[in-house]
Structure 1
Amino acid sequence: LAPPPNDNPAQWWRDPRTTALLRALRLRNPPAALVYGSTSGVYGDCQGALIDETRAVQPRTPRAQRRVDAEQAVRHFGRAAHVRASVLRIPGIYAPDREGGTPRERLHKGTPVLQAQDDVYTNHIHADDLARAMTAALWRGRPQRIYHASDDTQLKMGDYFDLAADLYGLPRPPRVPRSTAQDAMPLVLLSFMSESRRLDNTRLKKELRLVLRYPDVGSGLLSIK
C-alpha cells in the first residue's frame, strides 16, 4: 500500500521497493497469493467516464507511472512463479484514524472547491472496506486480476464536500472557477482536480463477493461523524 519511492531520478518511472520485494520472494518458496495496492490514478484523466478494469492506463504523473511499473512487475511475478497476484486500484481512502482521513479539517479551513461546471468526479473507499477488499482478494482473487477497490458513490468533488458539510453541520465550501483555483487552492489539491473518472466496482462485488459495509460516502461519513 505504501506509495513507491523516487530514489533514483534517472529511473523515475521505476518502483525499486516492489522490485526488491519480488526479488526476495524469488529466493524462497513463493506465497500462494499476493495482493498489491495500487491507485486509480494510473488511468489519468478519463473526462468523467465510467470505466472498468479493462480501461488502458494513461498515467499523467511520475508517481502514477511508478504504480504502473509496480503493477506490471507484480503480475509478471505471478505468472512466472504461479502465484495468484491481485492488483487493487484504490481511490481516495477515508477513515477517522487516518491523518486527514475525513473532510472535517478542510471544511473548517474553508478551502474552496471548483464551481459545478468545472468540477471533477472523485471516487472513495472507507478504510474498513478497503481492508476487507484486500482480504477478499487474498482468498478469492483470480490470477493476475485487477480490481477497483471503490464504493458505489458517483459524486463530483464539490458535491462530496457539500454532503460532508451538511452531515457535520458546517458551512459548505465556497465555489471558485478553475481559472482562479490556482490562487485559492494548494498545489496538491489542484493535482487531484485535473483528473475526472468514475470507477465501476462490479468485478469487486461479483468476483470477490464483497458486500460493502459503507456502499457510499454518506453512510461512511455518518459512521465517523
Structure 2
Amino acid sequence: MSEKQVFIFGAGYSGKAFARAGKAFARPKQGAAMILGTTRSSEKFEALRQAGIAPLLFDGALTDEIGDALNKTTHLVISVAPEEAGDPVLNAAREAIARMPALEWIGYLSTVGVYGDHGGAWVDETARCRPVSKRSVMRVEAEQDWLRLGGEIGRPVAILRLSGIYGPGRNALVNLENGTARRLVKPGQVFNRIHCDDIAGALWQLIEANTGGIFNVTDDLPAPPQDVVAYAASLMGVTPPPGIPFDAAQLSPMARSFYGENKRVANAAIKAAGYRFRFPDYRAAFDHMWASGDWRDGEARSPMKRG
C-alpha cells in the first residue's frame, strides 16, 4: 500500500483528535501518514502543528497551495458545515477534487441531526431522514452531493453521522468547574454522544480499508442530559446543579431546537466495519478523563482539588 496523505477541510476539534490518533495507525515500514488541514485563521496554525497537522488557509476559495496538496492526497476528509449556498468545499474545489490523481477515499463528517425527531425510538442508517432544522436539511443535501461526486469519479465515500461531540476541554467536568453546567430536565428526552477519540478511531478504521457507506458514529448509551452532569459531579465529589424544567429554561433558539429531536441512534454498522469503541458510553469516558486528568484540555493534569 502506498504512503497515505490525508487532507482535512476544516481541521477543528475532531480533526486535531484524528491527527493525534494517527500515530497509533502508522505502519512500521511507512511511518505515520502525512496530514494536512485547513483553518480560516492563521492564528490557529500553531495548534494544528502541535496536533501533527500541516496547516493551510481556506476561506472558501481554492488556492494554489491547496490545489498542489490535493494532487498528492490519497484520503480526503471534509469537516466543514454546509451553508445556504451549498457545501463550501464542493463550491470551491469540486473540479479539483474530481481530478485528484492519487485520491482513494473521501470521508464526510455529518450529524445524526439528519434523522430529525423519532419520538425516542431507535434509528439506524436505514431510517428515513426527516430533518427539522435548516442546518440539518443542508446536511442531508451535502451528504447527497458528496455521495454523488464519489459515484461520478468512482471513489468510495464514507458518511459519518456524528452525535454530540465531547472530549478534553469540552465536557460536563469542565462546565462544572467553570460554573456553566445546567441540568435541564425534559421527561423522556435522550441524546447520544461521541468522544472525539472515537471519531478519530472510526475515521482511521474506514481509511485503512477504504470503506465507503453511511455510518452512525455514536455511543452505546443514549441518556438524559441531566444524568451526564450528575455523573460528572459524582466523580468530582461536588453537588450537581438543581434540575431545571425544560419549559422554564432560557435557551437560544438553536439550543432549544436540539431538544425538539428525540431519538436513540444505533451504531451496529460501524462496528460491523471493524471498529471497536474506546469509550462505548459516557461513564467509561468520564471515568478515564477524570482518572487521567486530561478532561481540561488534553494535557495530563491532576484531578480538580475539592473543598
TM-score (norm 2): 0.63
Which residue among 164, 182, 192 is the counterpart of 1:112? Answer: 182
User: Residues 183 and 226 of structure 2 are in contact (CA less than 8 Å); yes or no, is this contact kept in structure 1?
Assistant: yes
CA distance in 1 between partners of 2:287 and 2:102 (Å):
42
Percent of residue pairs identical: 29
Ranked by relative contact order (alpha carbons within 8 Å, sequence separation 6 or more), the top structure is 1
User: Residues 34 and 84 of structure 1 are in contact (CA less than 8 Å); yes or no, is this contact kept in structure 2?
Assistant: yes
Show the counterpart of 1:135.
204
- Write the letter of the residue equivalent to 2:81: P
SS in 1 for 2:214: strand
Superposition CA RMSD, Å: 2.1
SS in 2 for 1:172: coil
Alignment of 1:46-61 (within 5 A): 46-61=118-133
Which residue among 208, 212, 220 is the counterpart of 2:285? Answer: 220
CA distance in 1 between partners of 2:287 and 2:266 (Å):
23
Answer with 193-202 or 24-33: which moved more: 24-33
CA distance in 1 between partners of 2:126 and 2:143 (Å):
14
**Counterpart check, 1:176 vs 2:244:** yes
CA drift of 1:164 comes to 1.8
Answer with 87-96 or 61-70: which moved more: 61-70
Alignment of 1:1-225 (within 5 A): 2-6=79-83, 12=84, 14-29=86-101, 31-96=103-168, 98=169, 101-108=170-177, 109=179, 111-115=181-185, 117=187, 119-140=188-209, 142-143=211-212, 145-181=213-249, 183=250, 185-206=251-272, 208-225=273-290
Q: Tell me the matched-pair count.
A: 212
User: Residues 104 and 210 of structure 2 are in contact (CA less than 8 Å); yes or no, is this contact kept in structure 1?
Assistant: no
Structure 1 residues 160 and 24: alpha-carbon distance in aligned structure 2, compared to 1, 3 A threshold:
same
SS in 2 for 1:129: helix
TM-score (norm 1): 0.85
Specify the structure having the higher radius of gyration (Cα): 2
User: Residues 13 and 65 of structure 1 are in contact (CA less than 8 Å); yes or no, is this contact kept in structure 2?
Assistant: no
User: Residues 37 and 88 of structure 1 are in contact (CA less than 8 Å); yes or no, is this contact kept in structure 2?
Assistant: yes
SS in 2 for 1:122: coil
